[in-house]
Structure 1
Amino acid sequence: MKKGIHFNLKYFLFSVLLFIVEVVIAVYLSHYQFIRAYLGDVIVVMLIYSLVLTFFDIYHKGRLILGIFIFSVAVEVAQYFHIADRLGFQQGSIPHIVIGNSFSWWDMLCYGVGCVILYGLYQAFKYNKQSS
């Protein structure tokens, strides 16, 4: 199979599902602090993973997961410096919401948990494919 840019319907549909879950959490479950603050951050790394695999055939999934973790931490550090405000995005605007503006060590832990879950699922599916 040739590696590179392509469209993967399975990952696209999974991305849409995860996006809907994230929207439901943000809009309807925001009063449940644990779900909003922690579960959403665990799920968002899975959303990024599935979005990348929707358009790119990545051979080294473990490296992709590590890259997603590094990216997530970089965004969180940018929040510490209020990058959304510094870039001039109005509070409540989509870019401001996507980038965020509140730093939390707990968020980084949740990104790590999400990446560990992803890696575990990747290893399980990889092992399953090899043994079939």
Structure 2
Amino acid sequence: MMYKRNRTVYAFGVILVMIAGLLSRKYVELLPQWLNTYLGDSLWALMIFLGLAMLFTKKKTKTIILFTLLFCYGIECSQLYHAPWIEALRQNTIGHLILGYGFLWSDLVAYTIGAGVGALVDRCILTILK
């Protein structure tokens, strides 16, 4: 399959996922607790997947998944590091949203689910726009 993603479509997807992620944190009382626990991290990984697919329009989906998981897992592992400079970054909203705070094994599962959903979305978009 020839890959040539439409950057505008993927940029729109990134924006939609960002909005969904922020809304999922604002309206936690509307969702079941088990979903609240993992939804934000899954949406974050989906956003990373769509962003990478937007940047690397000709890469295979498997490659985008790999880069997404390496990035997400790397950020999660960085949460084991607590030097003063990185803690200062985590104290502001943007730093906290990007870097997180505490390492959780369950977040790795959520990232994997988000990347998997990204692959499904990617397949649908590529099929529709073919």
Give the TM-score, by structure 1 length.
Answer: 0.75
Matched-pair identity in %: 21
The aligned runs of 1:1-132 (5 Å cut-off) are 8-29=7-28, 32=31, 33-82=33-82, 85-87=84-86, 88-89=88-89, 91-123=91-123, 128=127
Structure 1 96/30 Cα, relative in aligned 2: closer, same or farther at 3 Å?
Answer: farther
Give the TM-score, by structure 2 length.
Answer: 0.76
Q: CA RMSD in A?
A: 3.0
Q: Please say which of residues 19-28 and 51-60 is displaced more in the overlay.
A: 51-60
Kept in 2, the 8 Å contact 1:29–1:35? The answer is: no
The alpha carbon displacement at 1:44 in A equals 1.3
Unaligned runs of 5+ in 2: none
The alpha carbon displacement at 1:28 in A equals 2.2
Alignment partners' CA distance in 2, 1:122 and 1:29:
28
Deviations 1:51-96 (A, max 9, x none): 223333132221111111111111101012236x542326244213
- Higher gyration radius (CA): 1
Task: Give 3-state SS (helix, strand or coil) of 1:80's partner.
Answer: coil
Structure 1 43/95 Cα, relative in aligned 2: closer, same or farther at 3 Å?
Answer: same
Kept in 1, the 8 Å contact 2:42–2:113? The answer is: yes
Unaligned runs of 5+ in 1: none
Q: Please say which of residues 33-42 and 100-109 is displaced more in the overlay.
A: 33-42
Alignment partners' CA distance in 1, 2:30 and 2:103:
19
Alignment partners' CA distance in 1, 2:29 and 2:81:
24
Q: Which runs of 4+ in 1 moved over 6 A?
A: none
